[in-house]
A and B are shown apart, each in its own frame.
Chain A
Amino acid sequence: MPRKLPMYKAISEAIAQEMERDENVFVMGEDIGAYGGIFGATSGLLEKFGPERVKDTPISESAFIGAALGAASKGMRPIVELMFVDFFGVAMDQIYNHIAKAHYMSGGQVKMPVVIMTAMGGGYSDAAQHSQCLYGLFAHVPGLKIVIPSNSYDAKGLMISAIRDDNPVMYFFHKGLMGLGWMPSPPEAAVEVPEEPYTVPIGEAKIVREGDDVTIVAVAKMVYEALWAAEELEKEGISAEVIDLRTLVPLDRKAILDSVKKTGRLVVVDEDYRSYGMSGEVIATVVENGVSLEVPPVRIAYPDVPVPYSRVLERYVLPDKEKIINAVKTII
């Protein structure tokens, strides 16, 4: 039976159901036990499954993320939480040189069904080491699948898909979409979620609003900024199509191309840094496939600066509805 769930509950429900279904699934990370995860993604799991399968770890990311590789090599399906994606540095070697490459380098002998879930995003003045998105950085590395849900339905379905996938999947959740009591979240992110397990395919984008004049591509929280912008634009007679990519690797290039063929205009909204990232990849996809645009594409992304602390500074650089509206108006 569907009921409305906040994203954090949808994620923990997905993990619980997979742990029930498959005894090889277990979870490791800092504060994922009694605390239930700082962002609630593992709430209730310790009570259900006990400390052997829901392991609170020391602050030793290199060790426990590396350990996920070892466990996966023996047929386990570990889920590890990297509390904030900003902390990747202390464990990156295990992620990008080992977990990402083991299948390829072993000539296919080794499978890496590891889920690395991690919190991303800013907007609440947590400054440069706790507010980044960084998914572009991981998407750059061959061998890692990247999923980024924007609502609780996708959050549950993508988590189940990620756990069942035989490849390493980086699962990014935006803090500002989780529906936690202490951090504002758009109410639209908490949607109806079926009680029974289901999957959302990895690699399929979703058109979350149809339109004819311009295509707006986004992920995570920026999907809502884009939708809110589209609503306002409609009042002025501009019809915007909004695509929620949901997965960066593999990227649903067809969805992007089909939409841009129809609208002839492209705006990419990215809360990650602007250069060398998701926004560039989406635009390259369009250009490489020879789809002609009426006007050059526009990207609204985090400028290439570290995330500032002060609220006025952070607001200035964070992409939002107003910036999207202005950008669309300049190309129509």
Chain B
Amino acid sequence: MAKLEEIPKETLLEIYKRMHKIRTYEETLAEWYYKEKSPRFDISAGPIPGELHLSSGQESAAVGVCMHLKPEDALIGTHRAHHFAIAKGVDLKKMTAEIFGKATGLSGGKGGHMHLFDAKYNFSCSGIVGASFPQAVGVGIAAKLKGEDYVAVAVGGDGAANQGTFHEALNLAAIWKLPVIFVIEDNSWAISVPKEKSTAVSKNSERAAAYGIPGVSVDGMDVIAVYEVAKEAIERARRGEGPSLIEIKVYRLRGHFEGDPQHYRPKEDLELAKQKDPLLNFEKMLLEKGIVTEEELNKIKEENIKEVQEAIDFAVNSPYPEPEEALKGVFAGGE
């Protein structure tokens, strides 16, 4: 495995930039989410209604993987998808406007937080757990039939690995040797159900063996480790050697969704999550090894804060869609 020192500095800075941007974005969005939702929490009130699943603590998974992806590669995410969207390059302004339900959003306000679609960057996600896996298989089929070299990444949580779709898709991708990377983002929880009570094996990466494909488990506390593992899997897929499974161990810093009382979660678990912060860990590593200076990081931070603020301003100042839009667009090729 490559050492930190062997990776070009601009790559390291880019990794840091994306991780920090995601964190800044998620924490800022959370502030906006609670506007007009206090003193009494009302899920339908405020500028961002509906559910909100944030990804703070899981940035390393998205960035470590997406650093190797090109716009034409597909990434299919889950209900918790902002980090992957940002890491994949989705337009932050349009994404934010979508989350605020505005006409200028990615889908004109029809999709919303759990249903972000950006065809330009081949990004999509959905609110149905386990839906991503077979869909990525289809992208892999297309790549093979068209003789093109893009790959598909399907993301799911540790909970999603218990859906039938996961197992069916792994088998299909394996028998057809498709350029698909299955990513299990293991934060130990499926809402309130801990992984050890829902999953018969301790590591989802072991399930790859059942389908004859490589399965690797990697510590998401270390974004460089994720970066390296993803690099290998994605290069392998590009070389036509077939699918692989990557399990990334991360920690959920917030509730399952915003407003989650988390009464099921032991305090120690939340404490552990805070200690396992991949962003702080990476920052510390970069500084300790003298690879970057505080000033360099501060500059990145300022840029990110500015970019996130611009995205929020864009969303807030955008108009809502015309109500009649609701009736349009059910079918392609007309109303």
Contact = CB atoms under 8 A, between A and B. Distances in A.
A59 B115 contact: no
20 contacts: A30-B193, A33-B193, A34-B264, A59-B129, A59-B130, A59-B162, A90-B128, A124-B49, A181-B41, A304-B330, A305-B326, A308-B110, A309-B101, A309-B113, A310-B110, A310-B112, A310-B320, A312-B109, A314-B326, A316-B324
Contacts of A86: 127-128
B163 A60 contact: yes
Interface stretch (A112-120, A127-135, A238-246, A324-332): A127-135
B259 interface: yes
Report the interface size class on chain B: 35 or more
Given A60-B164, A124-B50, A309-B98, 12 more contacts: A31-B192, A58-B193, A59-B198, A90-B165, A127-B112, A127-B114, A127-B127, A183-B44, A184-B44, A305-B326, A309-B113, A313-B325
A309 B109 contact: yes
Interface of A: 30-31, 33-35, 38, 56-60, 62-63, 86-87, 89-90, 123-130, 181-184, 303-306, 308-317
Nearest to A312: B320
Contacts of A30: 190-191, 193
B327 A310 contact: no
Given A124-B43, A125-B50, A310-B101, A316 B109 contact: no
A89 B128 contact: yes
Contacts of B108: 310
Interface of A is mostly: loop
Contacts of B138: none
B51 interface: yes
Interface string B110-133: 111111000000000011111000
Nearest to A84: B127
A316 B323 contact: yes
Contact of A35 (B113, B192, B198, B327): B192
A58 B198 contact: yes
B42 A182 contact: yes
Nearest to B193: A56
Contacts, number: 150
Given A56-B193, A58-B159, A127-B112, A313 B323 contact: yes
Shortest 6 CB-CB distances between A and B: which pairs?
A309-B112, A310-B109, A310-B101, A124-B44, A125-B49, A316-B323
A33 B263 CA distance: 12
Contacts of A315: 323
Contacts of B113: 127, 309
B190 A58 contact: yes
B323 A312 contact: yes
A57 B44 contact: no
Contacts of A33: 192-193
A126 B50 contact: yes
A58 B165 CA distance: 14
A57 B138 CA distance: 29
Contacts of A123: 44
Nearest to B44: A124
B164 to A, nearest CB: 5
B275 interface: no
A112 B82 CA distance: 43
Contacts of A184: 42, 44
A124 B49 CA distance: 6
Given A127-B112, A183-B42, A305-B327, A34 B192 contact: yes
B193 to A, nearest CB: 5
B65 interface: no
B239 interface: no
A317 B43 contact: no
Contacts of B107: 309
Nearest to A91: B164
B197 interface: yes
A193 to B, nearest CB: 24
A113 B110 CA distance: 39
A197 to B, nearest CB: 28
Nearest to B102: A310
A309 B191 contact: no
Nearest to A87: B128
Contact of A129 (B40, B128, B160, B193): B128
Contacts of B43: 124, 182-183
Nearest to B109: A310
B266 to A, nearest CB: 11
Nearest to A127: B112
A211 to B, nearest CB: 31
A30 B159 CA distance: 10
B110 A309 contact: yes
A312 B264 contact: no
B193 A128 contact: no
A243 B197 CA distance: 45
B126 A129 contact: yes
